[in-house]
């Protein structure tokens, strides 16, 4: 199925257009729901509306005459810096007594505090008396304080859940993932997430070629038909130099290939984010401080003192302390046959001690120049069965694949989402661009 759009490139344009039209008609016939059920208000990320959006947009409900409602007259005030409940109440002509009664009602729950500049308070005043005051914190959270009897007020907090709808986006790389992704309508945040998912297999600075393709389905959050935010990427595809990578989100929040292999590797390629490699792995190097031939069995990452150093994989700290010329050093024992070493630190993360379990990417310490070092850098070693390996070249093992039980949950989800991705692609093939 995946190669289908590629196949299309070999046909004349007119054929493709006819084929696209036919496919759309077929899809419409097969996928058009007899009557589309309204999404329940508490739709969660687990419910997937499998009807491609193209079709939803064409579905028009018959307009019913609206019932006549006499709207309540609310007065809104925007909170400015230095405002308090008193000044806000004053501004709409309410008394100190009203402030006192509302404060009493909200004292315990702090429902109306803290107020920030830009927040809006809505007042419903009936016969010159406060009936309701409403604070809309976010579209999903609002508080209403309502007069019950005489001088007593009740507080009600209303939380709402957004409707989740899948959104499909695809594109072809002309200049870079960043530029073409934004042109295709992706936010910078989504692009970062996309690059992170495939970042283990594809170097987005070096490996990208013109005509590489990407496609993804992610969640959009709607409230009363208005878009209020983005959710997770559910599935993504990247075709890099003809090689297809598919990634699907599992309920553990990680991404796996349709076969259940983790998209991430068990080790980060580099334990520092911002660096320049100042010395490579070299068994015959002359040591810059000792001036004798001493093999360099690691990689040096030069970066400013204080730059965070991350554990390159999950594991257990077996050493934390000064270790001769290495200075302040941490050694991590990973599952199986792997150990990693981090030297010349300026300081450790105080929470990471000998015996601590650490997670991949967790900050374990900070770059420095303790021990025998000419300047601030991380000296990083990677050992397999106790034997030094070049961290820049060693074939990194994959992270744990899904086990049999997890696969039972994952497989049907993966199948459905890949089919949906393909249905979308057929609905608007790249070949027509
Ligand atoms: Zn070194």
- Cα distances from 44 to residues 203, 390, 417, in angstroms, run 34, 46, 16
Instruction: Give Cβ neighbours of residue 84 (< 8 Å, ≥ 6 apart).
Output: 115
Q: Verify that 173 and 24 share a domain, yes or no.
A: yes
Give, for all 433 residues of the chain, the pLDDT tens digit: 444 444 444 445 545 454 555 555 555 555 554 444 444 333 333 344 444 443 333 334 445 555 555 567 899 999 999 999 999 999 999 999 999 999 999 988 888 888 899 999 999 998 888 999 999 888 888 999 999 887 789 999 999 999 999 999 999 999 888 899 999 999 999 998 998 899 888 877 778 899 999 999 999 999 989 999 999 999 999 999 999 999 999 999 999 999 999 998 899 878 987 777 888 888 777 777 777 777 889 999 999 999 999 999 999 999 999 999 999 999 999 988 999 999 999 999 999 999 999 999 999 999 999 999 989 999 999 999 999 999 888 888 888 899 999 999 999 999 999 999 988 887 765 544 4
CA of 388 to the centre of ligand 1 (A): 13
Kindly state whether residue 415 falls inside one of the protein's structural domains: no
Q: Verify that 169 and 153 share a domain, yes or no.
A: no
CA of 298 to the centre of ligand 1 (A): 6
Kindly state whether residue 294 falls inside one of the protein's structural domains: yes
Q: What range defines the domain where residue 144 resides?
A: 74-159
Q: Verify that 151 and 300 share a domain, yes or no.
A: no
Domain boundary among 159, 185, 217: 159
Kindly state whether residue 242 falls inside one of the protein's structural domains: yes
CA of 51 to the centre of ligand 1 (A): 56
CA of 253 to the centre of ligand 1 (A): 36
Q: Verify that 151 and 168 share a domain, yes or no.
A: no
Kindly state whether residue 93 falls inside one of the protein's structural domains: yes
CA of 201 to the centre of ligand 1 (A): 27
CA of 380 to the centre of ligand 1 (A): 7
CA of 371 to the centre of ligand 1 (A): 11
**Is the separation of the CB atoms in 175 and 183 below 8 Å?**
no
Number of domains comprising the chain: 3
CA of 284 to the centre of ligand 1 (A): 13
- Cα distances from 235 to residues 134, 166, 359, 407, in angstroms, run 40, 10, 25, 16
Determine the pLDDT at residue 255: 95
**Is the separation of the CB atoms in 89 and 99 below 8 Å?**
yes
Kindly state whether residue 412 falls inside one of the protein's structural domains: no
Q: Verify that 241 and 295 share a domain, yes or no.
A: no
- Cα distances from 66 to residues 35, 59, 69, 70, 159, in angstroms, run 22, 20, 9, 12, 26
3-state secondary structure (DSSP) of residue 46: coil
CA of 318 to the centre of ligand 1 (A): 20
CA of 299 to the centre of ligand 1 (A): 6
- Rounded CA gap, 339 and 333, in Å? 5
Place of tokens 């998912």: 197
Q: Verify that 14 and 91 share a domain, yes or no.
A: no
CA of 394 to the centre of ligand 1 (A): 17
CA of 202 to the centre of ligand 1 (A): 27
- Cα distances from 192 to residues 178, 187, 398, in angstroms, run 9, 9, 21
Kindly state whether residue 210 falls inside one of the protein's structural domains: yes
CA of 422 to the centre of ligand 1 (A): 48
- Cα distances from 213 to residues 207, 263, 307, 422, 431, in angstroms, run 13, 18, 35, 14, 11
CA of 342 to the centre of ligand 1 (A): 10
CA of 326 to the centre of ligand 1 (A): 9
Kindly state whether residue 213 falls inside one of the protein's structural domains: yes
Kindly state whether residue 395 falls inside one of the protein's structural domains: no
Q: Verify that 95 and 118 share a domain, yes or no.
A: yes
Q: Verify that 172 and 150 share a domain, yes or no.
A: no
**Is the separation of the CB atoms in 50 and 413 below 8 Å?**
no
- Rounded CA gap, 337 and 132, in Å? 66
CA of 48 to the centre of ligand 1 (A): 51
CA of 343 to the centre of ligand 1 (A): 8
Determine the pLDDT at residue 150: 78
State the CATH number of the domain containing residue 96.
3.10.450.350
DSSP 326: G
CA of 222 to the centre of ligand 1 (A): 52
Instruction: Give Cβ neighbours of residue 27 (< 8 Å, ≥ 6 apart).
Output: 52, 55, 423, 426, 427
State the CATH number of the domain containing residue 331.
2.70.70.10
DSSP 31: H
CA angle 325, 288, 345 (to 5 degrees): 40
CA of 375 to the centre of ligand 1 (A): 11
CA of 356 to the centre of ligand 1 (A): 25
- Rounded CA gap, 25 and 16, in Å? 14
Domain boundary among 125, 142, 159: 159
Q: How far apart are the first and last CA of the chain?
A: 19
CA of 279 to the centre of ligand 1 (A): 7
Q: Verify that 208 and 287 share a domain, yes or no.
A: no
Q: Verify that 310 and 285 share a domain, yes or no.
A: yes
Q: Verify that 178 and 134 share a domain, yes or no.
A: no
Q: Verify that 334 and 190 share a domain, yes or no.
A: no
DSSP 265: B
Domain boundary among 131, 159, 187: 159
């Amino acid at each position: 199925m995946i190669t289908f759009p590629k196949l299309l490139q070999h046909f004349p344009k007119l054929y493709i257009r006819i084929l696209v039209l036919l496919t759309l008609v077929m899809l419409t016939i097969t996928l058009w729901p007899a009557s589309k059920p309204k999404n329940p208000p508490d739709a969660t990320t687990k419910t997937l509306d499998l009807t491609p959006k193209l079709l939803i947009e064409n579905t028009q409900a018959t307009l019913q005459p609206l019932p006549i409602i006499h709207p309540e007259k609310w007065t809104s005030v925007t909170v400015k810096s230095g405002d308090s409940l008193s000044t806000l109440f004053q501004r709409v002509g309410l008394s100190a007594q009203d402030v006192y009664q509302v404060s009493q009602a909200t004292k315990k729950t702090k429902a109306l505090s803290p107020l920030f500049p830009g927040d809006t308070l809505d007042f419903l005043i009936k016969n010159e008396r406060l009936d309701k005051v409403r604070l809309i914190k976010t579209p999903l959270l609002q508080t209403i304080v309502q007069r019950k009897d005489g001088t007593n007020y009740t507080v009600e907090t209303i939380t709402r859940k957004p409707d989740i709808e899948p959104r499909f986006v695809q594109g072809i790389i002309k200049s870079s993932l960043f530029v073409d992704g934004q042109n295709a309508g992706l936010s910078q945040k989504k692009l970062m997430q996309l690059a992170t998912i495939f970042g283990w297999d594809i170097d987005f600075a070096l490996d990208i070629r013109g005509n590489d393709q990407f496609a993804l389905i992610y969640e959009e959050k709607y409230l009363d038909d208005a878009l209020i935010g983005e959710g997770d990427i559910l599935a993504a595809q990247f075709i890099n130099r003809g090689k297809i990578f598919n990634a699907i989100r599992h309920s553990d929040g990680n991404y796996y290939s349709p076969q259940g292999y983790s998209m991430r590797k068990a080790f980060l390629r580099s334990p520092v984010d911002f660096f320049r490699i100042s010395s490579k792995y070299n068994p015959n190097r002359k040591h810059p401080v000792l001036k004798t031939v001493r093999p360099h069995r690691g990689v040096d990452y030069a970066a400013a003192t204080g730059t965070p150093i991350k554990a390159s994989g999950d594991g257990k700290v077996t050493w934390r302390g000064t270790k001769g010329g290495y200075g302040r050093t941490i050694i991590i024992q990973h599952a199986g046959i792997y150990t990693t070493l981090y030297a010349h630190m300026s300081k450790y993360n105080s929470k990471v001690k000998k015996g601590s379990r650490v997670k991949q990417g967790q900050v374990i310490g900070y770059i420095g120049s303790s021990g025998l070092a000419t300047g601030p850098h991380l000296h990083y070693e990677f050992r397999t069965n106790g034997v030094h390996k070049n961290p820049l070249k060693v074939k990194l093992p994959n992270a744990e694949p899904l086990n049999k039980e997890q696969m039972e949950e994952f497989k049907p989800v993966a199948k459905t989402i890949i089919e949906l991705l393909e249905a979308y692609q057929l609905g608007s093939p790249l070949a027509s661009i």
